[in-house]
Amino acid sequence: MSNAQQTENPLIFAPKTFQFDRDTLDESRLKENPIDLFTEWFDEAKKCPTEKLPESITFSSAELPSGKVSSRILLFKELDPRGFTIYSNWGTSGKAHDIKTNPYGAINFFWRDLERQVRIEGPAEYVNRETSDRYFKTRPRGSKVGAWSSPQSQVIKNRDELDELNERNTERFKDYKDNEIPCPEFWGGLRIVPLRIEFWQGRPSRLHDRFLYTRESENDPWKIERIAP
């Protein structure tokens, strides 16, 4: 018997199936602009006492021409009329490499206890330096020094090397007030301009409610469709 014909025995079984039954989503609750519905849902997630980190997202990017996809957990920081912004190292990180070859990204919010997801896809663009500087000033001092110290996603010999880099920059900026530590040129905001936004509300028996907003370009009106779970 070939390997392909043998019965596969899983190493791990998933936990007992969870039944989603908290809420519903129908046409009467939709908004003409998905940003308005997202804002409503995000506010509810922030007010939910058991959603400890409502701003956490999965950010996915893909390298071209290989098509290799990578994902990581980040924190969503800002929403403006144009889109959703995250902040990171755009010099050495893996996602920086992906975006340089393929300026398109995807964001996924999952609020477990509200039994909701929001999926966002669209072209990526860097925010201007003024915007990055403004946000950088709001960060804790340690995070500012850390941004200068970490060659993000690059191979380092050990923890001592990273600690030495951080100590060197701590010394470098010791006479700077917190708001005087400059934002590195390689660090800043990336905005996803949404062309697809899906709202997912869990329902029993895996018959979830899903509504998809799409548009061809940023200036086009949104089209709304219900899609099957």
Residue 179, SS3 per DSSP:
helix
The Cα–Cα gap between 23 and 40 comes to 15
Tokens of residue 136, six digits: 């950088």
Instruction: Tell me the CA end-to-end span of the chain in Å, nearest whole number.
Output: 37
Count of CB atoms within 10 A of residue 125's CB? 17
Let me know if 215 is a catalytic residue: no
Pick the catalytic residue from 206, 210, 215, 226: 206
* CA dihedral angle for residue 146, residue 163, residue 59, residue 134, rounded to 10 degrees: 0
The Cα–Cα gap between 99 and 44 comes to 31
Nearest-5° Cα angle at 68, 83 to 88: 40
Question: Residue 132's closest CA among 82, 77, 192, 174?
Answer: 77
* Residue whose structure tokens are 């380092």: 156
Which residues are catalytic, by number? 206
